[in-house]
Structure 1
Amino acid sequence: MARKIPEKWESSLKAVKAVQVAFDMDEKIQLAIRKEALDAGFSPSDQIRDILGLPTNKRPKRPRLTVSLAPADYQLLAKKYDLSPDQQLEIKKRLMDDLVNHVNNNDK
């Protein structure tokens, strides 16, 4: 007897069956596709799907940047900002300020 998939998981069934394909290609080609994606407001994955004539998700994605921070990174940043490593929210605010200032200073 086959097991019934819970209704709340049925919409995820297609994603579970999808297979990620990685492309090892010339850095110049990768950079060009990433730049096209950025200019079009797409993720690199959506840009590749668009180039290949495959459907893309038309819902706008929340624009955000990410970085992984290890405990040692929080130690370094806490020292930089004269904070405790436990003050992760304040460290994040300072990081955002640094990134905004970096872009504003480079736009001049």
Structure 2
Amino acid sequence: MSDKNTKWKKQEKAAKATQVAFDVSESVHKFIQKSSVDDNLKSSDFIRKVLGLEYKAKKVRPRLTLTLSDSDYAVLGKSFNIDPSDHIAIKHAVTKLLVDLANSHSKK
């Protein structure tokens, strides 16, 4: 029962928080994004750090996400010569492409 109470208290506290958006120039946005990546933080946690607020110091999960539609899978299937319905094979092909891109960029 105490786990439920603790969870409820955390949810109640989170519900009282307000999300704030900052309209800044593209250069400021890029700086914050790059700095947060360099510090292995989400951009919101990096801003909290800069402001002297509590933040989660856990590393950002090294995962990239992308939403793909059926038509996207059709294009990628054609590009990689893979059946568009084979989403796993397309995922592996895209992963390899991204890794190769990063490796070629780091050698420059």
In structure 1, runs of 5+ residues without a counterpart are: 1-5
Q: Check the 8 A contact 2:40/2:60 in 1, yes or no.
A: no
Residue 7 in structure 1 maps to residue 4 in structure 2: yes
Residue 105 in structure 1 maps to residue 104 in structure 2: yes
The aligned amino acid for 1:69 is L
Residue 31 in structure 1 maps to residue 42 in structure 2: no
In structure 2, runs of 5+ residues without a counterpart are: none
SS of residue matched to 1:104: helix
Cα deviation, residue 105, structure 1: 1.6
Cα deviation, residue 69, structure 1: 1.1
- State TM-score, norm by structure 1: 0.84
The aligned amino acid for 1:70 is S
Paired residues, number: 103
The aligned residue for residue 47 of structure 2 is 48
Cα deviation, residue 60, structure 1: 2.9
Runs of 4+ in 1 over 3 A off after TM superposition: none
- State TM-score, norm by structure 2: 0.84
Judged with a 3 Å threshold, the aligned counterparts in structure 2 of structure 1 residues 29 and 68 are, in CA distance, closer, same or farther, namely: same
- How big is the alpha-carbon RMSD for the aligned residues of Structure 1 and Structure 2? 1.8
The aligned residue for residue 77 of structure 2 is 78
- In the aligned structure 1, how far is the partner of 2:106 from the partner of 2:60? 25
